[in-house]
Amino acid sequence: MPAVPSNNRGVNRNIMNCAADGMLIVMRCNGCRRQVNYWASDLAKVIEDPFHDAHIPPWGCARCRTSEYMVMRWKIPMAHEMVEGLTVRRPVRKITKWIWKDERA
């Protein structure tokens, strides 16, 4: 794969490709240096577009509240990382909220 992502969506690796290969997605904020690991298969379920490019973060940093410094990479986890206890963020459940507004009768 080239170092610079292509403008052609068919050339770039997407979340579904990474999920099929059993990869980890590493999202890092270079502003606050927070790093979070996700399984690509979990992100494929959560993100509305499963063909989302794997180099573009789907959301911003929860701590900084910006996506300006976010970097997204993919990798295959090494055996020693799994044995040492790699921390991976997993989805638990989806919460649906009602949004209310006031109207005049």
Is 7 within a domain? Answer: no
Among 86, 93, 41, 34, which Cα is nearest to 59's?
34
Is 77 within a domain? Answer: yes
Give the tokens for residue 31. Answer: 């502003």
Is 31 within a domain? Answer: yes
Is 6 within a domain? Answer: no
Kindly report, residue by residue over 25-78, the tens digit of the pLDDT. Answer: 999 999 999 999 999 999 998 888 878 888 888 888 888 888 889 999 989 988
Contact 23, 40 (CB under 8 A): yes
pLDDT-derived band of residue 1, with 50, 70 and 90 as boundaries? Answer: very low
Is 9 within a domain? Answer: no
Is 2 within a domain? Answer: no
Is 59 within a domain? Answer: yes
pLDDT-derived band of residue 23, with 50, 70 and 90 as boundaries? Answer: very high
Quote the domain boundaries for residue 30. Answer: 15-84
Contacts with 61 (C-beta within 8 Å, 6 or more apart), sequence order: 29, 31, 32, 34, 67, 69, 70
The total domain count for the chain is 1
pLDDT of residue 90: 92
Separation CA 59–CA 29 (nearest Å): 11
Is 95 within a domain? Answer: no
Q: What is the pTM assigned to this prediction?
A: 0.76
CA angle 24, 36, 88 (to 5 degrees): 55
